[in-house]
Amino acid sequence: MSTTSEHHQQSGERFRRAGEPANLPADQISYTDLYARWERGNWSATELDFSEDARQWHSELDELQRTAALWNYALFFWGEDAVADNLSPYIDAAPREEQKYFLATQQVDEARHAVFFKRFMTEVCGVGGDDAGSSLEAIRPQLTPGFKVIFGRLDRMARELRADPSRSRLAAAVALYHIVIEAGLAQPGQHMITDYLTQRDILPAFRTGMENIANDEQRHIAFGVKILSDLKREDARVPHAVVALLNEVLPFTGQVLQPPGWDERYVSCFGYSFDRIGALGVSSLQSRLRAAGLAPEELPGQPVFFPGMSPEEVARRGRALAMAGVTGVREGPTKRDPETVALLFDTMRRRVNPGHGLKRPTTFEWDFTDDDIPSWHLTIDGGDVRVAEGSAARADLRLQVAYQDWVDIIGGRRDPRRALLGGRLRPRGNPLALRKLAQVFT
């Protein structure tokens, strides 16, 4: 095994000498140190005493706070169980022995986190039975639409990684697990929980456990950053694999923390807001990608975020698109008011691939078959991208399509090729422009 490890270490060094920068933040991290930190940070989920928490659960929290907390903690419990179940193929796919050792410690961590949440659900909240399975079934109704999609993708990713343990596939898996789920979704939620528990000085055992979990997750995220940077240096396909994964799952992240009826009191009762949590998630995700040498603005293809927007603006835009039914899981017809249509086309403008390959100014027009939706057009002239309501004086390509069909294409819910073959998307104009349109949005 040492020969294999040395071979991969040497191949990584050769790749680095070929021109990759060696001064990334990830280069300050070592797998040996991460393992040692795990040994020093071990804690027991079974030794925590929840008796005072059980008393305070009813005496210190009102009904709304208990309902909101149970909803939030249920997402964590299900998530910890899911990541524990899905980590084995990561261990198998890791090319270096030191990476495998650390991932083995992470699987132990995730199982411990699940045990911790199971105990809290049963002993404090009175949810579920003696076994973890019954507790998980009891909280299933709490799972949000975005949560189901993201963790369903994690299940599929585990199967894909077993079938294809390549570096590029592993990089996509790490981007999903360590960067999106742990850094972008879990960490902001942990901040919210520990903040309000500390400020109110309540639920002492649960607070201790959450602080321990936060320390574990910091170590996991650091590993994700480190291995992503190494995989990128060893395989030129990694940035493309990471982009594909991010473009697939990011539209659903705005619905992970979607309480019933989008009732913001589920977070405001603890001193937070949707915008604050969302901005924390976007900032965390972007900073970890940069630390791994995968800065969002330098990734190939369609931008994964909205260029020119702050993390707060990105989070607000993502939630607005989800609430309107433009992106994510559509729970009814997409909103069709002028503000939503304008938001759709401004989002399309910001998501144009900078490497679109158009040699001359090109205009695409959407002539909606709906009586209440006006035409819109998009013009690309090098790096200048403009959208406007109404018909263009001259369009290289006009698309006749129902508004809902086009929104579902943009939202990834309808295959554009099938829409073409089925006559739901009818192009008129230059056939080459139709081919170029696919490059514009990939």
Task: Please tell me the pTM assigned to this model.
Answer: 0.92
For 238-373, strand residue ranges (E) read 362-368
Domains and CATH numbers, the chain: 2-301 (1.10.620.20), 340-440 (3.30.1050.10)
Backbone angle region of 201, left / alpha / beta, with phi > 0 → left and psi within -120 to 50 → alpha: left
Q: What is the pLDDT along the chain (442 residues), one digit of tens a residue?
A: 333 333 334 334 434 434 455 578 889 999 999 999 999 999 999 999 999 999 999 999 999 999 999 999 999 999 999 999 999 999 999 999 999 999 999 999 999 999 999 999 999 999 988 899 999 999 999 999 999 999 999 999 999 999 999 999 999 999 999 999 999 999 999 999 999 999 999 999 999 999 999 999 999 999 999 999 999 999 999 999 999 999 999 999 999 999 999 999 999 999 999 999 999 999 999 999 999 999 999 999 999 999 889 999 999 999 999 999 999 999 999 999 999 999 999 999 999 999 999 999 999 999 999 999 999 999 999 999 999 999 999 999 999 999 999 999 999 999 999 999 999 999 999 888 898 898 898 8
- Cα–Cα distance measured from residue 334 to residue 105, given in angstroms and rounded to the nearest whole number: 44
- Cβ–Cβ < 8 Å for 260, 141: no
Question: In whole angstroms, what is the distance from residue 253 CA to residue 315 CA?
Answer: 9
Bridge-based pairing of strands 397-401 and 362-368 is parallel
CB-count burial class (<10 Å; 0-12, 13-18, 19+) for 421: exposed
CA atoms within 13 Å, Cβ hemisphere of 283: 12
**What one-character DSSP code corresponds to residue 334?**
P
> What are the residues whose beta carbons fall under 8 Å from the beta carbon of 218, sequence distance 6 or more?
none
Cross-strand bridge partners of residue 365 = 377, 398
- What one-character DSSP code corresponds to residue 364? E
* Cα-based torsion angle of the residue sequence 416, 421, 425, 426 in order, rounded to the nearest 10 degrees: 140
Residues near 359 by beta carbon (within 8 Å), at least 6 away in sequence: none
In the 8-state DSSP scheme, what is residue 128? S
The overall longest dimension of the chain from CA atoms, in Å, is 73
Pairwise CA distance, residues 155 & 161, whole Å: 10
Measured at the CA of 176, the angle between CA 291 and CA 12, to 5 degrees, comes to 50
| Rounded distance between C-alpha atoms, residue 375 and residue 162, angstroms | 47
**Total Cβ atoms within 10 A of residue 428:** 12
358/440 Cα distance (integer angstroms): 9
Three-class HEC string of 232-264? HHHCCCHHHHHHHHHHHHHHHHCCCCCCHHHCC
